[in-house]
Amino acid sequence: MSLTFAPSAKDALPLTLVDKEGLEDFTASLSAPHAAWLAASGFRAALGAVVVFPGKEGAPEAAVVGLGDARARSRKRFGVASARAKLPDATFRLVTDLTGPALDEVALGWLLAGYRFDRYAKKSAPKAMLIAPDGVDAARIEAIAAGEALTRDLINTPANDMGPDELEAAVRTLGDTFGAEVAVTTGDALIEANFPLIHAVGRAATRAPRLIDLRWGTRGPTLTLVGKGVCFDTGGLDLKPAAAMGLMKKDMGGAATTVGLAHMIMALGLPLQLRLLIPAVENAVAGDAFRPGDILTSRKGLTVEINNTDAEGRLVLADALALADEEMPDLVVSMATLTGAARVAVGPDLAPFYASDGMDADALRHAAPKVADPVWELPFWAPYETMIEPGIADLDNAPKGGFAGSITAALFLKRFVTDTDRYLHFDVYGWQPSAAPARPVGGVGQGARALLEALPGMLKL
């Protein structure tokens, strides 16, 4: 599957975008037969609505897609993308007055509408192709689409085919593609290398836990991405009920998102030094599983009381973040499918984030609407610090009471980033629960495009 634009073609058919306000003028510009066809079709320029105009021989000659009105567009991202599957097998060229982010959204949505996860069953993809519209950076849009497709593929793959081994293989393939170095610490070597929390969470699984470490770039500012790679989460000894376990193949969605973002960064050749850290584990049940009530010592030296083995993601991230912090990069970013509390707060569509630097938060808020990647800031709320301090140990991995679950998890992670001035954390969902334009049901990236858009300003690239 290749999410790319079509090469230029002289016989490409015009594909005109028309909003409700412009429908009357557009109709007046048509030939009499086409105007009559449009009227007979009942076209009202609703967002994503399509009319194909036949030529004299009956073959498609042109098409029009509705843009709706401002309200419709505000309620549905990538609305134009839904038109792709309704168009015939032909190559089109876009006719529109759209520019800037609005045009970029149309172009990216078109490519993402071609995504299909067909590893286990054949699925038909739309046959309509689009020449890259004038005014868009085609190479950039294609790189973003490829990174998003990689993220989706990783999340969609079930745990029997996407365990720590396969996640490592995916990162190694990415490294080979872009000339990055990849080092991996596996199994009991984690103890020797002082990653005790990663080892503790993953030791009960038959597939060994590991820390995957990719490095790319030799100049520019330093960026370290840390992605939660829990390839399946049973909950451990605090076993999840069946209904809660059904989507746990996506618990490595943070890792998948950072892998997709790393693809975008390297494909675009951003002038920075990238490090990608993924603690890859399976939280399983066995005789040597870590237990409720255990007190574990982290790489940072902080002790953690385990009050719920189902709060394992913050544990593996803690060791990886401690390692990232030792180099004091210009920016550390963690991404994780960390808490159900985040979904209760903002639903599946928004990616909550936390920022230790207000200017970084401002940059993300400004960038997100430009790339149709909505985010929402939540606070590192210092008065809640006592909620993660159990008294018997430095930290509690699962505070009682049920309040502010996403915030207390973020505060937990922040305790492991002490020497680096700028830290961002995303508590993503990583899953599209119902089909939407350019986003079928299944794995989805969140926050990556917003961060990619914001990075040049953040890091002064």
Of the chain, the end-to-end C-alpha distance in Å amounts to 32
Bridge partners (DSSP) listed for residue 197: none
Output the six-digit token pair for 112: 């993402």
Those residues whose C-beta lies under 8 Å from the C-beta of residue 97, and which sit 6 or more positions away, are none
Amino acid in the structure at residue 96: T
CA 34-36-42 angle, 5° bins: 105
Burial zone of 201 (CB within 10 Å; 0-12 exposed, 13-18 middle, 19+ buried): buried
- Kindly tell me the burial class for residue 100, based on how many C-beta atoms sit within 10 Å of its own C-beta (0-12, 13-18, 19 or more): exposed
Give Rg (Cα) of the chain: 24
- Catalytic position from the list 76, 140, 215, 240: 240
Whether residue 240 lies in the annotated active site: yes
- From 203, 210, 314, 439, active-site residue: 314
Q: Strands 210-216 and 181-186, how do they pair?
A: antiparallel
Cα–Cα distance measured from residue 247 to residue 282, given in angstroms and rounded to the nearest whole number: 14
Using CA atoms, how far apart are residues 450 and 138, in angstroms rounded to an integer?
18
Please return the burial class of 301, using the count of CB atoms within 10 Å of its CB with bins 0-12, 13-18 and 19+: exposed
What b/e string do you get for 12-22 counting C-beta neighbours within 10 Å, with b at 16 or more? bbebbbbbbee
Q: Active-site residues: which are they?
A: 240, 314
